[in-house]
Structure 1
Amino acid sequence: MIERLTSSDLDGALDDLAGILHACVHDGASVGFILPFPPEQARAYWLNHVWSGVAGNELDLFVVRNAQHVLGTVQLIPAKMPNQPHRADVAKLLVHPNARHQGLGRALMAALEERAAQLGRNVLVLDTRSSDPSLRLYQSLGFQIAGEIPNYCRNPFDDRLEPTTFMYKNLH
Structure 2
Amino acid sequence: MPDRQPFSIKQLSADDLEKYITQLADLLHACVHAGASIGFVMPFSQTDAEDYWASRVLSAVQTNSIIVLAAIAGDELVGSVQLDIDTMPNQPHRAEVLKLLVQPGFRRQGIAKTLMLEIEKIAEEHTRSLLTLDTRTGDIAEPLYTSLGYKIAGVIPGYCLDTFEDRLDATTIMYKTLQ
TM-score band, normalised by the shorter chain? over 0.9
Distance in 1 (CA, whole Å) between partners of 2:20 and 2:88 is 30
Residue 99 (structure 1) aligned with residue 106 (structure 2): yes
Letter matched to residue 101 of structure 2: L
Residue 139 (structure 2) pairs with residue 128 (structure 1): no
Is the 8 Å Cα contact of residues 86 and 121 (structure 1) preserved in structure 2? Answer: yes
- AA in 1 matched with 2:33: H
- Partner SS, residue 81 of structure 1: coil
TM-score by length of 2: 0.95
**Which residue of 1 is the match for residue 39 of structure 2?**
32
Partner in structure 2 of residue 56 of structure 1: 63
* Deviation digits for residues 24-78 of structure 1 (CA, Å, limit 9, x no counterpart): 0000000000011011000000001000010111110000001111000000111
RMSD: 0.7
1:67 is matched with 74
Distance in 2 of aligned mates of 1:75 and 1:97: 18
- Cα contact 2:65–2:86 (8 A) shared by 1: no
Specify the SS of the correspondent of 1:88. strand
Task: Name 2:117's counterpart in structure 1.
Answer: 110
TM-score w.r.t. the length of structure 1 is 0.98
Unaligned runs of 5+ in 1: none
CA distance in 1, matches of 2:169, 2:19: 35
Per-residue CA distance 1:148-170 (angstroms, 9 max, x = gap): 00000111010000100000000
1:85 matched residue in structure 2: 92
Aligned residues: 172
- What stretches of structure 2 of length at least 5 have no aligned partner? 1-7
Task: Report the counterpart of residue 14 of structure 2 in structure 1.
Answer: 7
Give the Cα–Cα distance (whole angstroms) in 1 for the partners of residues 43 and 51 of structure 2: 15
* Overall identity of the aligned pairs, in %: 47
CA distance in 2, matches of 1:79, 1:37: 27
- Distance in 1 (CA, whole Å) between partners of 2:79 and 2:119 is 13
Query: How far apart are residue 79 of structure 1 and its match?
Result: 4.0
Say which SS state the counterpart of residue 146 (structure 1) adopts: strand
CA distance in 2, matches of 1:7, 1:154: 31
Contact 1:71 1:99 in 2 (8 A): yes
Aligned to 2:54: 47
Mapped partners of 1:161, 1:114: distance in 2 = 34
Q: CA deviation at 1:91?
A: 0.1
